[in-house]
Structures are given as C-alpha cells and as structure tokens.
Amino acid sequence: MIRLRSNSPAATLRLGRKLGALLTAGDVICLSGGLGAGKTCFCRGIGIGFGAQTQLNSPSYNLVHEHQRAQDETRLYHLDCYRLDNPQAAPSLGIDDILDGSGAVIMEWAERIDPFLPSERLWIVFDIRGESRRDLHCQAVGDRHSSLLADFLRALEKDDA
Ligand SMILES: Nc1ncnc2c1ncn2[C@@H]1O[C@H](COP(=O)(O)OP(=O)(O)OP(=O)(O)O)[C@@H](O)[C@H]1O
Ligand SMILES: [Mg+2]
C-alpha cells in the first residue's frame, strides 16, 4: 500500500494529471472515498493528462462518459457508480464492453460494482484528513497495474508541475 498526500485541489489535480498521462487501453482505475473526498477532482486531472478532448466532470445523468483524444484511438471511460443503488444493474451500464480492454477505465465509487470488476486493477482510496488535506492510499493488483503504479510514482518524483 502506497500513501500519497495532497494539500490542495490543485495538488490532487496534478496527481491525476500524472497518472492520466500514463494510461493505456486495459488500465482499470478504481476510486473510493466519501463525498467530497476529491475523486472527481482527480478524474479531471486524469482527463487532462490523458489528453481528453472533453473535460471530465461528475457524470450526472449518465453513469458512464466516454472520452477521446486526438493522438490515437484509445478511449477513456469515466464511470460514477454513486447512483447505482443495486450492483446487479451494472451489466445494464454495458460494463462488460467497457472493461473489454479497448480503453482505459476510471471509476468513482467503484466498490458499488465490485462483483463486476476485474481482479487486476489499481485501487485508490481517498481519505479526508482535513479541510484541504487528502490522503490517497494506492494498491495495485497484478503485474500490469503494479508497473503502472511504479511509473506513476516515478513521474511524481520529477519536480515539474
Ligand atoms: N486536497 C484536496 N483535493 C481535492 N479536493 C479538495 C482538496 N481539499 C479540498 N478539496 C475540496 O473537496 C471537494 C472535492 O470534490 P470532488 O467532487 O472532487 O469529490 P468527490 O470525491 O468526487 O465527491 P463525490 O463522491 O460527492 O462525487 C471540492 O470542493 C474541493 O475544493
Ligand atoms: Mg465525484
């Protein structure tokens, strides 16, 4: 388990940006943590780092948003499972197609669809530690996501913004 610390929304956005720049098709990023913990802020950064042509926001009506980028065909799927009362409804979101490996997937409230998630993933739990302090607990399962986490940590060591 790796713990990262953020002291501001801008810092969380930067963390997301660094991870987003590394994402490739087949990556699965699961986010959990309470209301206002910073998951959407992090996702917005992911979208910027990924090069998404549309901003990642809180998905309101649709639980799934699909984003494209200019440089290639890789898709970024952003899910927010908060409103999913019953995990059995997950298949109706097209979750199997989303997880078929053709795009990178980032999920808020991922624990709500836990039974449908692949076992190999990067899980990030947001912990509210103060008004502007958040701890991010990161745990990778599988070789692929372990090396993604290692690359993410290396990218964070570079002291560019
Ligand atoms: N270090 C921080 N990182 C991220 N957000 C922070 C931080 N400190 C304070 N905040 C504030 O916390 C809130 C985070 O909101 P955000 O929508 O990202 O949370 P969320 O985890 O997606 O919540 P929800 O589950 O309700 O969608 C924002 O109002 C933001 O300004
Ligand atoms: Mg959110």
Q: Which domain holds residue 97?
A: 2-84+93-157
pLDDT digit string, tens, across residues 116-154? 999 999 999 999 999 999 999 999 999 999 999 999 999
pTM strictly above 0.85: yes
Nearest CA to ligand 1 atom 31: 9
Number of domains forming the structure of the chain: 1
Please state the atom number of ligand 1 nearest to the C-alpha of residue 126. 21
Nearest CA to ligand 1 atom 26: 35
Residue 92 has a pLDDT of: 79
End-to-end CA distance of the chain: 25
Largest CA distance in the chain: 44
CATH of residue 49's domain is: 3.40.50.300
Task: Compute the distance from residue 127 Cα to the ligand 2 centre, in Å.
Answer: 14
Please state the atom number of ligand 1 nearest to the C-alpha of residue 80. 27
CB neighbour list of residue 104: distance below 8 Å, 6 or more residues apart: 23, 24, 25, 26, 27, 28, 29, 50, 74, 75, 76, 77
Residue 21 has pLDDT above 80, yes or no: yes
Establish how many alpha carbons lie within 13 A of residue 68's alpha carbon, considering only the half-sphere containing its beta carbon.
4
